[in-house]
């Protein structure tokens, strides 16, 4: 990524990239990470959580929480994509290639698809997301406020998702109470951080 000053009228370079490269952001690496994270949100989780949520029927409380996590991961995908293009990157023009470079393993229906196995898979998927978004936060902190703000909003929700699935798995598998500290979202997929919506604070 060139670190020289963008000339007036140049539509092939971006000042928005020039300034963050100057501050030490490895922009091509950042774009690659954002595409991998977009793949994890859209393909590894949003798509497969749809299937997992179907299989939680009969546990309406678990189903509802899974739905919130599913829709919030879709909100994350929507939030990341514009930033990839702003930075001069683009999505692979091939869905299979996009899926295959995702930063987290696909959350495929486990065998056997028991509630405990599904909750375990959901929990570990959220943990992968926390690791990936923390990495983006570390790469951009103090250097690229726009990507940092986005990554921090997503990370806030991933941390909540982990807490939800710890609470549900501990209850279902171990008969233990490990509180998440939260109550349900407002509407399904409320996404208070990534959609800049109001927090639950009655």
Q: Using CB under 5 A, list all residues that contact Fe ion.
A: 41, 69, 73, 76, 126, 129, 158, 161
Minimum distance of Fe ion from residue 129's CB (angstroms): 5
**CA 110, 113, 115, 117 torsion-angle sign:** negative
Minimum distance of Fe ion from residue 8's CB (angstroms): 39
Residues 55 and 147: their CA atoms lie apart, in Å, by 35
Question: How far lies 8's CA from each of 21, 27, 60, 117, 166, in Å?
Answer: 19, 22, 58, 57, 53
Three-state secondary structure call for residue 94: coil
Minimum distance of Fe ion from residue 53's CB (angstroms): 13
Minimum distance of Fe ion from residue 16's CB (angstroms): 24
Minimum distance of Fe ion from residue 73's CB (angstroms): 4
68 versus 144: smaller Cβ distance to Fe ion: 68
14 versus 47: smaller Cβ distance to Fe ion: 47
1 versus 52: smaller Cβ distance to Fe ion: 52
Residues 6+ apart with CB under 8 A from 57: 63
1 versus 191: smaller Cβ distance to Fe ion: 191
Residues 78 and 58: their CA atoms lie apart, in Å, by 30
Element holding 150 (H helix, E strand): helix 145-174
Torsion, CA 144, CA 146, CA 149, CA 153, rounded to 10: -130
73 versus 144: smaller Cβ distance to Fe ion: 73
């Amino acid at each position: 990524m060139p670190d020289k000053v963008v000339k007036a009228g140049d539509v092939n370079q971006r000042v928005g990239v020039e300034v963050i490269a100057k501050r030490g952001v490895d922009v091509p690496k950042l774009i690659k990470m954002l595409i991998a994270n977009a793949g994890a949100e859209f393909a590894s989780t949003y798509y497969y959580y749809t299937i997992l949520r179907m299989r939680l029927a009969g546990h309406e409380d678990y189903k509802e929480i899974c739905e919130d996590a599913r829709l919030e991961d879709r909100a994350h995908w929507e939030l990341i994509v514009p930033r990839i293009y702003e930075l001069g990157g683009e999505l692979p023009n091939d869905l299979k290639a996009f899926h295959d470079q995702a930063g987290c393993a696909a959350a495929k229906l486990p065998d056997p698809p028991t509630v405990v196995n599904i909750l375990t898979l959901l929990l570990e998927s959220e943990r992968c997301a926390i690791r990936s978004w923390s990495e983006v936060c570390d790469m951009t902190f103090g250097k690229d406020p726009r990507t940092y703000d986005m990554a921090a909003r997503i990370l806030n929700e991933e941390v909540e998702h982990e807490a939800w699935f710890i609470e549900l798995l501990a209850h279902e598998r171990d008969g233990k109470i490990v509180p998440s500290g939260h109550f349900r979202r407002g509407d399904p997929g409320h996404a208070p951080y990534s959609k800049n919506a109001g927090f639950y604070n009655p």
